[in-house]
Amino acid sequence: MGHWLGDAYRVRVVDTGREPLFLLLPGLLGSFLFIRISARMIRRGAKWWPGNVRPGGTHIHHVVFGQVMMPAGGVGAFAVRGGGRVAYDLLAVLFGLGCGLVLDEYALVLHLEDVYWKEEGRQSVDAVILAVAVIGLLLVGQAPLGGYVGGRSYRSYPVAAVLVAFVVLCLMTGKVWTGLLGVMVPLLAVVGALRLTRPASPWARWRYAAGPRRMARAERREDGIHRRFTAAMTAAGYSVVVRRERGVGAAEWGRLAALADAWRRWRGGVEPGRVGDAGDGECVVAQCPDPRGRARAVLAFVPWGPDGLALDLVWRDRESGRAPVDFLLTEVLLRANAGTPPLDGVRRVSFNLVRRPSEPYGPRRQERYLLFERRAELPRVLAAGALAEGLRAKRRLLPPPPTPPPTPPAARPAEHGR
């Protein structure tokens, strides 16, 4: 067995000149896994694990160390002359170590903020998976863009240009994974570009605005994806319970508050705050029990105008991941759309008014400007904005006529006896 692996490594990796590329892969995976474990240990507060690097009180992210290792390995590989195969192999490992550290904080570089433990931080894991997939395809001899390797022959240039167009079109239709993997497997890019566009993609905004039927088909397809997700969660034994707060008993409120407090204390969850208050009867509570009946996620919605709800609190068990919360949100939207009690009459659901932002449902701040000609119009503009946001109820143009008081029955005259 060992001889067979050694011969395969020599024939497929060493003799083909791919040994530096092969050694780059374990360097990338090793640094990524190590820094992920280190970040979790630091977050859990393990006393025996070294903490963050803070010289002079400045927190240095590990992407900085990767940015040093990558130029050192890359420039060193160009600068080495006659150093032998060992020097190139060591520089490849160094470059891979730097790649792992940089890609682990790819989301931080993309958003220019620390989103490591937020939903946007998932993009770093996606970037590492994509890099590993591309390196693996290169190791097995798969050239990008249908075998394009350059050279003096111009035959491969038109094919490569057409495949690049398909990749770009696939990215514009919202299929990021399919488009990026299509660089190495062109069939994926072609299929992704020809299939229906995702409704939130730039291509849908540009091309489907004048075609409501296509947009409706795209939305139905996206809705089908969400329904399959909820069906998978239901098949796994999870369920959803949606009630108004007035329908939740005091004993159950105590149990939910204890769970939320445990999640907050040990997993950094949201502060339970005021739960079960008698004045919050119109608020909506949704919980996701697991197959054993234990709540894995709890959401609280507050009224938003006469026909809306706004997400207020998110409590979840960190060991269960984010799937129960996504399941709850999807079910709330589907039930509100179907008019299922107690969500009948709900026409709007907002995820932006969170009391304490909880990834990934926190508000994304965006500046808005109100234009008006005269200062005297400012109160009317503010009132219209409050009405549009559901912060004030719409008043009638004419007050309803007063209801006349009921007329007491006429008293019958008393009969006098003789």
Q: 255-275, pLDDT tens digit by residue?
A: 877 777 777 644 444 444 555
Residues 137 and 9 both lie in one domain: yes
Average confidence (pLDDT) over 143-157: 64
Q: Assign 101 a pLDDT band (cuts: 50, 70, 90).
A: very high
Single out the residue in 330, 350, 370 at which a domain terminates. 350
Residues 344 and 265 both lie in one domain: yes
Torsion sign, CA atoms 330, 332, 337, 338: positive
**Which residue type occupies 404?**
P
Q: How far apart are CA 287 and CA 266, in angstroms?
A: 20
Domain ranges, residue 122 = 2-142
What is the pLDDT, as a whole number, of residue 97?
94
Does a structural domain hold residue 306?
Answer: yes
Average confidence (pLDDT) over 21-28: 91
Helix (H, G, I), strand (E, B) or coil at 388: helix
Average confidence (pLDDT) over 91-117: 90
Nearest to 165 by CA among 150, 149, 182: 182
Better-scored residue on pLDDT, 170 or 391: 170
Does a structural domain hold residue 281?
Answer: yes
Count of structural domains within the chain: 3
Q: N- to C-terminal Cα distance for the chain?
A: 129
Does a structural domain hold residue 376?
Answer: no
DSSP string, 317-352: -GGG-SHHHHHHHHHHHHHHHHT-TTSTT--EEESS
Residues 230 and 267 both lie in one domain: no
What is the pLDDT, as a whole number, of residue 98?
94
Does a structural domain hold residue 21?
Answer: yes
Helix (H, G, I), strand (E, B) or coil at 283: coil
Q: Assign 99 a pLDDT band (cuts: 50, 70, 90).
A: very high
Q: Does residue 244 carry a pLDDT above 60?
A: yes
Does a structural domain hold residue 155?
Answer: no
Q: Specify the CATH number for the domain of residue 346.
A: 3.40.630.30
Residues 62 and 10 both lie in one domain: yes
Residues 137 and 255 both lie in one domain: no
Give CB contacts under 8 A, 24+ apart, made by 259-267: 259/295, 259/298, 259/315, 259/317, 260/298, 260/315, 263/315, 263/316, 263/317, 263/318, 264/315, 267/317, 267/318, 267/319
Average confidence (pLDDT) over 396-411: 57
Residues 26 and 9 both lie in one domain: yes
Residues 12 and 129 both lie in one domain: yes
Does a structural domain hold residue 268?
Answer: yes
Single out the residue in 350, 369, 398 at which a domain terminates. 350
Residues 103 and 46 both lie in one domain: yes
Does a structural domain hold residue 176?
Answer: no
The rounded mean pLDDT for the chain is 78
Residues 224 and 277 both lie in one domain: no
Q: Is the pTM of this model over 0.95?
A: no
Better-scored residue on pLDDT, 185 or 390: 185
Q: Assign 364 a pLDDT band (cuts: 50, 70, 90).
A: low
CA 381 to chain centre: 34
Better-scored residue on pLDDT, 239 or 388: 239
Q: Does residue 312 carry a pLDDT above 70?
A: yes
Residues 263 and 215 both lie in one domain: no
Residues 93 and 114 both lie in one domain: yes
What is the pLDDT, as a whole number, of residue 151?
53
In contact, 24 and 92? CB cutoff 8 Å: yes
Lowest mean pLDDT among 61-70, 162-171, 352-361, 403-412: 352-361
pLDDT one-digit tens code per residue, 50-81? 888 888 888 899 999 999 999 999 998 888 87
Residues 210 and 310 both lie in one domain: no
Q: What DSSP state is assigned to residue 270?
A: -
Does a structural domain hold residue 166?
Answer: no
Q: Does residue 406 carry a pLDDT above 70?
A: no
308-316, strands of its sheet edge to edge:
241-244, 284-289, 295-303, 308-316, 348-350
Q: Does residue 372 carry a pLDDT above 70?
A: yes
